[in-house]
Every structure is written in C-alpha cells, then in structure tokens.
Structure 1
Amino acid sequence: MNLSNLAREIYEVAHLTGSFTLRSGQVSQEYFDKYQFEAEPRVLDRISQALVGLIPERIEVLAGLEMGAVPIATALSLKSGIPAAFVRKKAKAYGTAKLAEGAAINGKRVCVIEDVITTGGQVLLSTQDLREAGAIVEDVICVIERDPEGRRKLEEIGLHVHTLFKMEDLIEAGKITS
C-alpha cells in the first residue's frame, strides 16, 4: 500500500481551515475532521488495511475509544480477525454498567485504538480505566499523531505508541495536492 497516497486521500477528505478549539483546549488554524475519513468507506477501508501491520502479534482485543475510534476499531477487527471492545469515557450506570462493551478485556492483552492523539489525555484516562478493569494494556495505535507531547506522556505510563501518520505527513501530502 502506498502510504503517501493514503495521506493525500485523508488530507483531501478531512482537512479544514479556520479556527478550531481542540479537546486539549489548544486552538488550531488547521483541523482534520476525523469523522470525514471515518465515514468514507473507501478511505476507512484503506486506513484499516494499513493499520493491520501496526498491531503487535500478542494482541487479543482491539479497544476503540468512544466515539471516534469505534469505526476504526470495527474496521480493524474485520481486517485482522481480532475481537473488538468499545470503551466508554465513563461506565454507564444502567444495564451491564460496563466500561468496555463487546469483547471481554479482563486478563487480555488489549491494544487501545485512537483516531487522533494530541495531548494523549483520553488515552491516558482510558488506559487507566482498562487496566483497573483487568486488561493488560501496553500498546496504542492511532491514525494521526498530532503532537509529539502526547506520545511522550503515553510512553511515560509504559505504552508503545504505533502511529500511521504524524501531522507533518498529512500537511506534506496536502502540499502535493495543492
């Protein structure tokens, strides 16, 4: 698979300009609307195909974080044959009252799936929650690594970060497109 072509496709489908406040509170003049590339079947299929090669061999469950990583985890599960779990930001207070729906995570080697990592904040919180629920979490896969600071924070808690694209890759792909 040609990753530079995929980067260009993501850029064309998801790149927006303007003033955007990120989850971290940072303001950016560029934004990659992840829902645009997640909602485009052809692009999501190509992303999941590229991500399969990043999954460490020992992984037993792919854990997609609510909400953006759920489509990615689902597509990646279909490509890899590895069961998926869908991780809530907070366990629901009714029904099963689970933090993670889908595949069982207790005692399993779980890889967190995220769409975009900026500060790593949600991955940090979800990893802690998953570990408390009995999951063995040592890896995270993301489509776009927006800021190296997020990687640093995740590595500090013992996570191996596997990234498909850094933000610079997408910006460079956009220059080729323009």
Structure 2
Amino acid sequence: MLRDVYVKAGVIDTGSYLTTINELCDQLPALRPELLWYVTANLRSRVDLAGVTKVLVEEEKGAPIGVAFSLMSGLPLAMARHYPYDFPSPRVDFSSEYDRSTLHVNGIEAGDRVCIVDDTLSTGGTVSALIQAVERQGAKVEHFAVVVEKEGNGGRERLEGEFGIPVHSLLTVRITAGQVEFVEGIC
C-alpha cells in the first residue's frame, strides 16, 4: 500500500532537492484512513516504547501520523508548532529541504523520554532542531520513527552520528529525475 503511494507520487524540484507530492505527506489525493492506519500500525510495531513518556510531532506533514501514533501507543502527544502563544515554549530555528522557519515546541517537560514521529526523513534538519529543543527542556529523545527515508540527503547519518538517535523507518527511497526508486522496506 505504501509503495503504491510513492509509485503514484509526483516528483518536483524544490530548487535544492527532488521531493514527492503524495497522499500520505500532502493529502493529494486525500489521505485514506486505511493507509494512515496501515502506516501507523507498521511504524508502531518497529519501535520499543518501553520507558517512552511522550510522542513529539511537527504540526505540518507528520501531524496525522503523529496523532495516530499517539492514539495507538496510548502516549501523550506534544506538538511543535510554527506559531507562538503568549506563554514561553522552547523555540528552535530549523532548515529542511523545503522550508526554513521557527518551531515552538509545546508539551515537553524535564525528565520526559520522547519518541519523535514524522512522515519523511531527508536532510534531518527538522528533527535535529526538535532534538535540540527537547534537550534544552531537560528531556531526552529515545527514538525517531519515520515512514519514509530519502537516501542520499544525509538525514540518517546526521541523526545517528551527531545525536546517537536510532532511526526506525518503513521505506527507503531514492528520488531521481521524475521517478521514485525503492531501496528497501517492508511495505
């Protein structure tokens, strides 16, 4: 089911990277509940959540998966948002393959043990920023669970090398001019 989504995905050039537009990440076409359930159940089965106290997700593309992961695991959901509130929350600047912005991390407290969930790992820019925000709160990231990894953009190497965070993914793809090539995965 997941491979089919990427077979049908459109490939665009962001100016720096090739990326896909698809049902899971962009809701084009609308995200089917059976796909969301399938992806989340498979992702959840890959991560040992013993000792994890919260799920953290960035509000944009990974939010549907993070919400479903929270429901499936029974863990509270923390959200990194692009806009602030009138109370202090950790703020972190990030740069990803398609965006440069600021995230405000809500719901993480000292002592939390966190699993970050997202749709795609490319450069690791967004996740690296979230890890830094979590650590500034006195909490620890235990796992990073992602549906799709883009090979060749350095994300896995960055997270495992720089932060020592295990990356759990369902599918690894290589995106070339106009097509998605499957490198490995269960789906």
**1:11 counterpart residue number:** 6
Q: 1:40-86 deviations in whole A, cap 9, x for unaligned?
A: 32211111111111222221111012311121110011111111111
**Structure holding more helix per residue:** 1
Q: CA deviation at 1:32?
A: 4.1
Q: CA deviation at 1:104?
A: 4.2
Other structure's SS at 1:141 match = strand
Aligned match of 1:100 in 78, 100, 105? 105
Q: 1:78-128 deviations in whole A, cap 9, x for unaligned?
A: 111111111135x71x32332333x44321110111111111011111110
Correspondences of 1:73-92 after superposition (within 5 Å): 73-88=66-81, 92=84
In structure 2, do the counterparts of structure 1 residues 42 and 105 end up closer, same or farther at CA, with 3 Å as the change threshold?
farther
**2:149 counterpart residue number:** 145
Amino acid of the structure 2 residue aligned with 1:27: Y
**Separation of aligned partners in 2, 1:45 and 1:130:** 27
**2:114 counterpart residue number:** 110
Q: CA deviation at 1:172?
A: 4.0
**Separation of aligned partners in 2, 1:143 and 1:77:** 15
Q: Report if aligned partners of 1:61, 1:105 keep a CA contact under 8 Å in 2.
A: no
Aligned match of 1:58 in 51, 59, 62? 51
Unaligned runs of 5+ in 1: 1-5, 174-178
Q: 1:8-56 deviations in whole A, cap 9, x for unaligned?
A: 343256x113x321xxx5232x514312278332211111111111222
Unaligned runs of 5+ in 2: 90-103, 175-179
**Separation of aligned partners in 2, 1:50 and 1:41:** 14
Aligned match of 2:26 in 18, 22, 35? 35
Runs of 4+ in 1 over 4 A off after TM superposition: none
Q: Report if aligned partners of 1:138, 1:158 keep a CA contact under 8 Å in 2.
A: no
TM-score normalized with structure 2 length: 0.74
Amino acid of the structure 2 residue aligned with 1:64: V
Percent of matched pairs sharing the same residue: 28
Aligned match of 2:168 in 155, 158, 162? 162
**Separation of aligned partners in 2, 1:60 and 1:81:** 10
**1:176 counterpart residue number:** none
TM-score normalized with structure 1 length: 0.77
**Separation of aligned partners in 1, 2:110 and 2:81:** 16
- Residues paired across the two proteins, number: 158
Q: CA deviation at 1:158?
A: 1.4
